[in-house]
């Protein structure tokens, strides 16, 4: 006589608990959508590898910016690039004179200064900014036209 209620209770628990366990599985259920960035957040620059950066840089209308020192620029640079040193006092002013709707490909020696420069460009409202993951030596070795 006690056996029947125990079986019924076990069955009832199995019916209640099983859907909860299934809901926790990572099977084919879709992940919740990622939260969208607030509208006031600046555009993030895109950090890209050498082949991708070269493709962007050689596209018509792209402005190539070298953010190294004038001495580094004089020692060798991507043909047609502008030298706007990120460490200069007038960096923000000089960047501010450029068209915010244009596409920019930015590089330095190793990728550190270009990351700083492109982050600053994003805060100034530049939406199409590509930051080279790597540096000038990588571009030269990959066959980018240099001067």
pLDDT of residue 26: 42
The residue range of the domain holding 77 is: 46-141
Residue 58 within any structural domain of the chain: yes
Residue 134 within any structural domain of the chain: yes
Residue 9 within any structural domain of the chain: no
pLDDT of residue 43: 73
CATH code of the domain covering residue 137: 3.40.250.10
Q: How many CB atoms lie within 10 A of CB 102?
A: 13
Q: What is the pLDDT along the chain (147 residues), one digit of tens a residue?
A: 444 444 443 434 344 444 443 443 444 444 434 333 334 445 789 999 999 999 999 999 999 999 999 999 999 999 999 999 999 999 999 999 999 999 999 999 999 999 999 999 999 999 999 999 999 999 999 999 999
CA angle, 137 then 100 then 116, to 5°: 40
Catalytic residues: 108
């Amino acid at each position: 006589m006690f056996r029947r209620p125990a079986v019924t209770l076990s069955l009832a628990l199995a019916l209640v608990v099983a859907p909860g366990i299934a809901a926790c599985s990572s099977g084919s259920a879709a992940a919740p959508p990622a939260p969208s960035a607030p509208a006031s957040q600046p555009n993030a620059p895109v950090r890209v590898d050498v082949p991708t950066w070269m493709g962007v840089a050689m596209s018509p209308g792209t402005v190539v910016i070298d953010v190294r020192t004038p001495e580094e620029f004089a020692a060798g640079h991507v043909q047609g690039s502008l030298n706007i040193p990120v460490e200069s006092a007038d960096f923000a002013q000089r960047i501010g004179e450029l068209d915010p709707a244009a596409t920019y490909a930015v590089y330095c020696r190793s990728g550190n200064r270009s990351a700083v420069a492109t982050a600053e460009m994003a805060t100034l409202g530049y939406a199409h900014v590509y930051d080279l993951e790597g540096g000038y030596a990588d571009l030269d070795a990959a066959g980018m036209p240099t001067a």
